Structure 1
Amino acid sequence: MLSQTPTREFGPDFILDLDDPTFVANPYPTYKWLREQAPVYRWKTRGDAIVFSRHKDVRALLLDRRFSNDYRVWEFAQDEVQWPPEHAEYKKMMDNGLFSLPDADHTRVRRLVSGAFSPRAAERMREEIQRAVDDIIADKVRGDRVDLTAITEPLPMRVISDMLKIPDAMRAEFRAFGLAVIRGSILFNRTEELFATIAPMPRWLGMLREVIAERRKHLLENDLLSTLISAHDGGSKLTEDELLSLIQALIAAGSDTTVHAANWALYTLLRHPEQLALLRADPSLIRNTLEETLRYDIFGKGGIPKFPKEDLEFAGQKLRKGQMVIPFIPAALHDPEVFPEPERFDIRRDVSQTIAFSAGQHFCLGAALARQELDIVVGTLVRRFPDMRLSGEPVFQPHPIMRAITRLEVSVG
């Protein structure tokens, strides 16, 4: 069971603080208070944003096409002139991203690439992902104790490099590019920090353009980049800018999130030895187990902001055009109206109403790949180390949007 220690005293003067260490360790008392006492919460410290926390409202918001994910719609969006010329190419890549494209282009791009990110495509990656996990375990596990984050952290970038068949000589640079993309994609970055992070971006984007140009000449089998280059729908194809943006999105949305999802899944299982024993007795429960770990104790603090395209009313609340609206998915995943006894971890629970990967037109494009990676890394560790147990509490790192575990030490026996 989750602890019921509140973040701070709740009441009319309560101010939501996602950086409060007590909230990071256990945000669920706060979510419970929001659902019950302030299901439409006005968050003035985040630019007069509105937070929704009940499952029915959060799901409806995710499905409502009157809202955009494009930050340029925000009423307090940064002025374009704040971007200096040396960062123009990075800005263009971001503007061509799935979250930034107008609805028609968003639909077109998703239709073009959906086959490359299907469950069948993810299944074709199983052997490569398993090999990557085995290699990392062999490299990182020395002796009786191991920090599990040393295994989970390098995996997604290794998998993405394998999927794109990045040449070996370029992999170190590609990883540096990926880490910069992850840091640069964190919301609410200060502008000067962002510009420092992406300073080498012209060199990295030049590298990727070289890889794309070479791949156009020599398409490869079972290669994501070749698939994206060849994707067409009638006369429509992906532009090179859209290709770059998809690579960026794959890294931004599929790296950090997968790492934290794996860390929290392992931490949750190790805190519930009776459920871990059930999984070991019946490995076929792994997929449902992972969905339940995401529901029970997900790594995100809130949700991806959305912005009304016009003045409108939603869930009885009048909203301004461009006003920030945040669907708090973790709060919704503990709504007892949908998930009875939400603070009970049960790997046999019906999780069909989960929205851990969002919903609607912005349902996570890489969900199948993320599930496959989680399946393999968590399943392999559970299988390989039957005596694995926690050696202490996790160590957290400050992060604006995630409950980021940076150390999770275990004894592997």
Structure 2
Amino acid sequence: MTERPVPASELYTDEMTADPYPTFAHLRETAPVCPVSSPRYDSYLITRYDDAKTALTDPRLSKDLYGPDKHYLRIFGPNSEGLNKNMLNSDPPEHTRLRRMISQAFAPRRIEALRPRVGEIVDSLLDKVVHQGEAELMHDFAIPLPMTVICELLGIPESDHERVLDWTQVIRTSGSSGRAPEEDKAAVQDAQLHLHHYLSDLVQAKREAPADDMICALIDACDQEGKLSERELVTTTFLLLFAGHQTTADFIGNATVALLTHPEQLGMLRSTPELLPQAIEELLRFDGPLPVASPRIATEDVVYDGVRIPRGSIVGVVINSANHDPAQFADPDRLDLCRERGPHIGFGHGVHYCLGVSLARMEARIGIGTMLRRLPNLRLAVPPGELRRLAAASPFRGLLELPVEFDV
């Protein structure tokens, strides 16, 4: 094991973008707590399953990036506070208060009531491509499906869906867009500013014309119960918007590629569709959309696997590495849709466990199941190695494009 910092440029390579799992295996074996140096900030990556699960609930690893030490400046930059100061980047009791405010909106019974509408959205998107024999599934299906669902839940007018999507995609593709670094940074800041202004104006408009949607429920909590500040209204809306579609979109893309490159597993799923709920869990374990959990800060010196992580250090828990740890999963690099549903941490662990898990599972099950049924002989239109992905250093594991062909 080594405590020598690994330069980010040596870690986040083109090879890792295409397939990060050999790198994760190497880190688990040789540097399970790996210091990484980069121009923006240094960090420590925790890669083994047991350590990862412990770290996700370790109170010494804080999620509060907006406290007196202003750790967010290193990670997000000075313009982030208007959108990112939300429950994701907070600790109890603030996190508990904010999470309680929106948890009812994601109650399983309420999410289940959305099933018919999700099915309608899935079919309407597939109707547009089913007679073409080809599609770019990220743009045509995987991204607009969860984006439409969360926009409707929040109460974002349909006429605004496209521009809101455009702003979120600028943020999503940061570092992967082909733009020059300074141009990329400016584009992201501009998109964040537009989103902040748009959501602030939307909240005001809904105060003047209330409706039965999630934003209006949050406004009631703010105005009548005094439980949310004005800033928290906007930042919570942004969190729900972005988290409510981004990871689901990337997961649908990743899962589709995994199935199309494992034809025996795809054939089994087609012939045994009742396997779909179990398959979704295995596909999430196999290639999840969030490789590293959102950052944590060591509030004191902590030791994992004999490595001292100094106070103030940024810590990244590598979820996708933990979910491939052979100490936890037999033959972890093999996709096995019949694998017994194990305790993967694809949705996180502890108090920050994904709040939208019921919605994400439902969208994935309906979306993937219907796609496989309606697009016969679905296949990649390019070799797997030519698929364009988000950069390895991106917070997300996803595809820029997913060209496919199918029989008409």
Alpha carbons 1:75, 1:323 under 8 Å: kept: no
1:355-366 equivalent positions in 2, closer than 5 A: 355-366=345-356
Q: Does 1:341 align with 2:331?
A: yes
SS in 2 for 1:146: strand
Q: CA offset at residue 244 of structure 1?
A: 1.8
Identify if the C-alpha distance between structure 1 residues 100 and 305 changes in structure 2 by more than 3 Å, giving closer, same or farther. closer
Q: 2:44 — aligned with what? A: 50
> Could you give the per-residue CA deviations for residues 190-216 of structure 1, whole angstroms, max 9, x where no partner exists?
76454333343454134312343135x
Q: CA offset at residue 351 of structure 1?
A: 3.0
Q: CA offset at residue 378 of structure 1?
A: 0.6
> Could you give the per-residue CA deviations for residues 88-132 of structure 1, whole angstroms, max 9, x where no partner exists?
xx634432x112334211101112221211222221111111111
SS in 1 for 2:132: coil
Q: 1:208 — aligned with what? A: 202
SS in 2 for 1:29: helix
Alpha carbons 2:83, 2:192 under 8 Å: kept: no
- Larger mean Cα displacement after TM superposition, 259-268 or 378-387: 378-387
Partners of 1:120 and 1:357 lie apart in 2 by 19
Partners of 1:348 and 1:112 lie apart in 2 by 37
Partners of 1:347 and 1:209 lie apart in 2 by 43
Q: Does 1:259 align with 2:249?
A: yes
- Larger mean Cα displacement after TM superposition, 118-127 or 387-396: 387-396
Identify if the C-alpha distance between structure 1 residues 64 and 38 changes in structure 2 by more than 3 Å, giving closer, same or farther. same
Alpha carbons 2:64, 2:89 under 8 Å: kept: yes
> Could you give the per-residue CA deviations for residues 269-288 of structure 1, whole angstroms, max 9, x where no partner exists?
11112211222222221121
Q: 2:261 — aligned with what? A: 271
SS in 2 for 1:237: coil
- Larger mean Cα displacement after TM superposition, 256-265 or 114-123: 114-123
Q: Does 1:20 align with 2:10?
A: no
Q: 2:406 — aligned with what? A: 412
Partners of 1:360 and 1:13 lie apart in 2 by 29
Instruction: Provide structure 1 residue ranges, at least 5 long, that are not aligned to the other structure.
Output: 1-9
- Larger mean Cα displacement after TM superposition, 265-274 or 164-173: 164-173
Q: CA offset at residue 347 of structure 1?
A: 0.8
Q: Does 1:131 align with 2:120?
A: yes
Partners of 2:70 and 2:159 lie apart in 1 by 44
1:196 paired residue among 162, 186, 190: 190
1:170-185 equivalent positions in 2, closer than 5 A: 170-179=160-169, 182=172
Alpha carbons 1:181, 1:251 under 8 Å: kept: no
Identify if the C-alpha distance between structure 1 residues 398 and 276 changes in structure 2 by more than 3 Å, giving closer, same or farther. closer
Alpha carbons 1:98, 1:246 under 8 Å: kept: yes
How many pairs does the alignment contain?
391
Q: 2:22 — aligned with what? A: 29
1:163-312 equivalent positions in 2, closer than 5 A: 163-179=153-169, 182=172, 192-201=186-195, 203-215=197-209, 218-220=210-212, 223-230=213-220, 237-312=227-302
Partners of 1:185 and 1:162 lie apart in 2 by 29
Q: Does 1:78 align with 2:41?
A: no
Alpha carbons 1:181, 1:248 under 8 Å: kept: no
SS in 2 for 1:198: helix
Partners of 2:175 and 2:136 lie apart in 1 by 26
Q: Give the alignment's Cα RMSD to 1 decimal.
A: 3.2
Identify if the C-alpha distance between structure 1 residues 182 and 208 changes in structure 2 by more than 3 Å, giving closer, same or farther. farther
> Could you give the per-residue CA deviations for residues 21-68 of structure 1, whole angstroms, max 9, x where no partner exists?
211111111111111111121212373321111100000000112211
- Larger mean Cα displacement after TM superposition, 131-140 or 193-202: 193-202
SS in 2 for 1:43: strand
SS in 2 for 1:407: coil
Q: Does 1:396 align with 2:385?
A: no
Instruction: Provide structure 2 residue ranges, at least 5 long, that are not aligned to the other structure.
Output: none
Partners of 2:161 and 2:131 lie apart in 1 by 25
Q: CA offset at residue 398 of structure 1?
A: 4.2
Partners of 1:185 and 1:371 lie apart in 2 by 28
Q: CA offset at residue 403 of structure 1?
A: 3.4
Alpha carbons 2:378, 2:404 under 8 Å: kept: yes
1:99 paired residue among 88, 95, 98: 88
User: TM (normalized to structure 2)?
Assistant: 0.85
SS in 1 for 2:311: coil
Partners of 2:272 and 2:310 lie apart in 1 by 51
Identify if the C-alpha distance between structure 1 residues 169 and 24 changes in structure 2 by more than 3 Å, giving closer, same or farther. closer
AA aligned to 1:204 is Y
Q: Does 1:324 align with 2:324?
A: no
SS in 1 for 2:121: helix
Alpha carbons 1:184, 1:198 under 8 Å: kept: no
Alpha carbons 1:396, 1:404 under 8 Å: kept: no
Identify if the C-alpha distance between structure 1 residues 100 and 32 changes in structure 2 by more than 3 Å, giving closer, same or farther. closer
Q: 1:387 — aligned with what? A: 377
Alpha carbons 1:116, 1:228 under 8 Å: kept: no
Identify if the C-alpha distance between structure 1 residues 406 and 412 changes in structure 2 by more than 3 Å, giving closer, same or farther. same
Q: CA offset at residue 295 of structure 1?
A: 1.0
Partners of 1:194 and 1:139 lie apart in 2 by 30
User: TM (normalized to structure 1)?
Assistant: 0.84
Identify if the C-alpha distance between structure 1 residues 374 and 309 changes in structure 2 by more than 3 Å, giving closer, same or farther. same
Alpha carbons 1:261, 1:299 under 8 Å: kept: yes
